[in-house]
Amino acid sequence: MERSVVYYRNKDNKPGRKATTVTIYKNEIVNEEYVLKGVKSLLDHEFLSYGYLKISKQLQMDGYVINKKKVYRIMKSYNLLKPQRIKTSGKRNFVKFRKPQTEKPLTYFEMDIKYIYIPQERRNAYLLSVIDVHSRKVIGHVFKRSIRKVDVINLWQSLKPLLGDFKEITIRSDNGSQFIANDVRGYFYYHGVKHEFTNIATPEDDGHIEAFHSILEREFLRRNDYTSLDEMKTAISRFMKCYNEERLHGSLNYRTPEQFIKDFNENELKLNQNNIENLTELCQTVYDF
């Protein structure tokens, strides 16, 4: 019988190269259990709720030589993957809204209020947050039993040293009673701030702050139990610090808002130095001529 007419016996295993069981970490070889320990330490964080992509980026930053496929395989084998979103098929018509256009950080902001339930008091408290559209940094927040127009004014007054000239910034908000109050609008008008409002019942118009509130709900409120107002207030301050300085953002090329602003300022400084050098060389050439 010719060999070409006979099938090989099935070996009951997957074809191709077997997955490696070791990983390089800071010039040393570690086993899969060591990598798993690093993954679990990230998942056990009080505020961060990463999927395998951000876990991969964070492990690489920590010194692991590892790709996303290996992280996915490890997390899948130990049932550590986040639940996948259900995607629908078919044609859908979406309404188009104006999107803020920014060129640099700390010039265009969105603000909104989110209610947070306090179990010990059996009532809601309110969180007023201000986010920078360009860098996704939350530059200020107020957490109280109630938010009034004076709280909005006091928050922006406290932000003046950080932002400098108010005449260069734009603020977008919804039509909440605290934002449309005459005192608040008069405060912004007096300082030369451009204040614009979203259309009625269109949360897409201030999608950046709405997305932040979604992260706050998903990665902070649902994963932790804080019963009192003071406990919640302290935890929110820790979460804001983590969000700005530790949490990786996919829209920022897996950087934190603080790192994004730092990189932007360094690039701007280099660009200005190059322009000055080129201008100096041009002046010298003209002078020599």
pLDDT digits (tens, 9 = 90+) for 154-171: 999 999 998 988 999 999
pTM of the predicted model as reported, rounded to 2 decimal places: 0.81
- What is the C-alpha separation between 250 and 255, in angstroms, rounded? 7
Neighbour-count burial of 14, counting CB atoms closer than 10 A to its CB (0-12 exposed, 13-18 middle, 19+ buried)? exposed
| pLDDT tens-digit map of 125-144 | 999 999 999 999 999 999 99
pLDDT grade for 145, boundaries at 50, 70 and 90 = very high
Q: Does the pLDDT at position 87 exceed 60?
A: no
137 three-class SS: coil
pLDDT the model gives residue 95: 34
Determine phi and psi for 200, rounding to 5 degrees. Answer: -65, 130
The closest alpha carbon to 248, from 49, 37, 41, belongs to 49
pLDDT grade for 82, boundaries at 50, 70 and 90 = confident
139 three-class SS: strand
- What is the C-alpha separation between 223 and 227, in angstroms, rounded? 13
- What is the C-alpha separation between 32 and 91, in angstroms, rounded? 43
- What is the C-alpha separation between 113 and 177, in angstroms, rounded? 11
> Terminus-to-terminus CA distance in the chain, angstroms?
91
The listed CATH number (3.30.420.10, 1.10.10.10, 3.30.1490.190, 3.10.180.10) that belongs to domain 108-252: 3.30.420.10
Write down the domain spans for the chain.
22-77, 108-252
Contact 112, 213 (CB under 8 A): yes
